């Protein structure tokens, strides 16, 4: 058993839920988060509200699941990201679980 953590901008929330289903990961949790990117100085100076740092509405999904399901999910995410026309790919990590109850 492993822990998979996925982050995605709100726009792709329905898509990632569908990818979880396709990977046969039926039990997962989701949480609203706010994502940030560090802006370059040039971009900050061009911003009307340069002193404000605004984040992007995002989601974090996580699930304790079997490695075969995670392999399928990663394959689906890779295919999904290759078709994106934006700079906001779905990101995922896997964390091994040493013990669980």
- Residues 52-83: pLDDT tens digits? 556 788 999 999 999 999 999 999 999 999 99
Place of tokens 């689906």: 76
Pick from 29, 92, 91, 83: nearest CA to 61? 29
Q: What is residue 3's predicted lDDT score, i.e. its pLDDT?
A: 96
Domain ranges of the chain: 2-35+56-91
Confidence (pTM): 0.80
Would you tell me how many other CB atoms lie within 10 Å of the CB of residue 42?
A: 8
Query: What is the reported pLDDT for 11?
Result: 92
The CATH architecture of the domain made up of 2-35+56-91 is: 2-Layer Sandwich (3.30)
pLDDT attached to residue 54: 66
Q: What is the pLDDT of residues 5-54, one digit of tens each?
A: 999 999 999 999 999 999 999 999 999 998 777 755 545 455 545 455 56
Residue 60 CA to residue 48 CA, distance in Å, equals 30
């Amino acid at each position: 058993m492993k822990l998979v953590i996925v982050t995605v901008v709100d726009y792709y929330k329905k898509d990632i839920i569908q990818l979880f289903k396709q990977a046969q990961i039926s039990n997962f949790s989701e949480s609203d988060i706010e994502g940030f990117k560090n802006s370059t100085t040039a971009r900050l100076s061009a911003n009307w509200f340069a002193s404000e740092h605004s984040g992007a509405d995002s989601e974090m999904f996580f699930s304790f699941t079997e490695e075969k399901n995670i392999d399928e999910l990663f394959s689906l995410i890779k295919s999904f990201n290759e078709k994106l026309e934006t700079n906001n790919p779905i990101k995922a990590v896997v964390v091994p679980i040493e013990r669980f109850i």
